[in-house]
Structure formats: C-alpha cells, structure tokens
Amino acid sequence: MTEAPQTTLEQLRQRYSANYITAEQFLADHLPHIKSVAYLRRKIAAGGLQQLQLWRLDPNSKRSPWVIYLPTLAKWLDRQQEHAAKQAA
C-alpha cells in the first residue's frame, strides 16, 4: 500500500516542535533574501506578501517575538506553490 501524501501542515509539524515559528526562523528558512523582521512587517502591511500574518506571541509585550502559526504558513506556502505552477504553465 502507498501512503497518502502528507499535507503541507503535516510536514511543517514534523519539522517544527511548536505550532508556530518565529519570524526570524521563517525568514531564514523561507525568505532568506529578506534580512529583517521590520522589513517583513512593512512588506506584509503593504500587501506584498498577501495572506501572510504575523502575531506577537504575547500581545501585551513589546519584547515578545513575532510569530507565524503553522496553519497560516501552510496555507501561504500552498498558495505560493499554486501561483508558481500557474506562472510556469
């Protein structure tokens, strides 16, 4: 029997131990050409990375890291793949 292919979310959950990753980890793993979280936040706010959302892990703390929850990241990665496939066609 063949196993059903894993979803993007399942793959992310195997890779990362928490249900989120920090914005720094996201940049290192997925967008290494962007060097700062501040620039990432500006790009998201300007609509440059549609449907990607960052949250403060503790919204009451300015020192709390910015994070991306894995379900949101999985949806964003799937949309990126669909967009790339359309561009290649």
Q: Mean pLDDT in the chain? A: 93
For residues 23 and 47, give the distance between their C-alpha atoms in angstroms, rounded to a whole number.
17
User: Where do the structural domains in the chain lie, given as residue ranges?
Assistant: 18-88
The pLDDT score that the predictor gives to residue 8 is 95
CB atoms closer than 10 angstroms to residue 17: 7
The pLDDT score that the predictor gives to residue 3 is 72
pTM assigned to the model:
0.86
